[in-house]
Amino acid sequence: MDEEEMITELSAMAEWNNFAASLVMQYRSKGDLSQKQWDAAERTILNVQAKALFRKEMSRTVDVSRIKDLLETAKVKKPVFRAAELAFSLAPLHGKNAGAVYVKRGPDYQGKIMEGQFIPVSSCQSDTADAVVRVAGDPRGQAVQHGRETGRCSCCGRELTDPVSIEMGIGPVCIANWGL
């Protein structure tokens, strides 16, 4: 990549990447960058391109309507639906991601489902996208499987102690509150 192409790439990133913006400003004011700056610019561009490729490879088209319906109709304050080692929750109604469903694995944010597309973060685990599609296709079945495998309710996360609840994967209170 020649210098002009690199400056064009950096300029495209300058709006959201402060480092790219500083390199573009330096180039425009002095007409050149040091060798270390050119090397850093190239690494930055390659890193951004790699992340974009990762997101493209990991993103999936997914009909999240069944999960979203569960979360929106649950009679609890902040609903979280658990299945396939994942936790699904609604984005706040008044944020930039309004309408999205957030996806976490344990404490780690994996990405969001927005406008029918799972959009992973760069630290997303490799099997998360496929698990999202699997859960979206059969939330009830995946909830039952989750409860049986973990011994925890798929809706509230509490330990299941009753054999019937363990078999169903969901506690009796959550069945009533979640309409499952």
Mean pLDDT to the nearest integer, 11-37: 91
CB 156 within 8 A of CB 74: no
* pLDDT 10s digits, 46-80: 888 877 776 677 667 788 888 999 899 989 899 99
CB 53 within 8 A of CB 60: no
Give the number of other CB atoms < 10 A from CB of residue 157: 13
pLDDT tens track for 98-135 = 999 999 999 999 999 988 889 888 888 888 989 999 99
Among residues 172, 147, 168, 167, which one has the least CA distance to residue 157?
147
Predicted pLDDT at 86: 96
Query: Residue 33: its pLDDT value, please?
Result: 92
Measured between alpha carbons, how far is 30 from 109 in angstroms, rounded to an integer? Answer: 41
pLDDT tens for each residue of 142-160: 998 999 999 999 999 999 9
CA atoms of 121 and 175, how far apart (whole Å): 32
On average, the pLDDT of the chain sits at: 89
- By DSSP bridging, strand 101-105 and strand 108-114 are antiparallel
Instruction: For residue 76, give Cα distances in angstroms to 10, 41, 80, 155.
Output: 46, 49, 9, 10
Q: What does the DSSP 8-state code read for residue 174?
A: H
Per the model's pLDDT, the better-predicted residue between 50 and 167 turns out to be: 167
R_g of the chain computed on alpha carbons: 22
Phi, psi of 2 (to 5 degrees): -85, 175
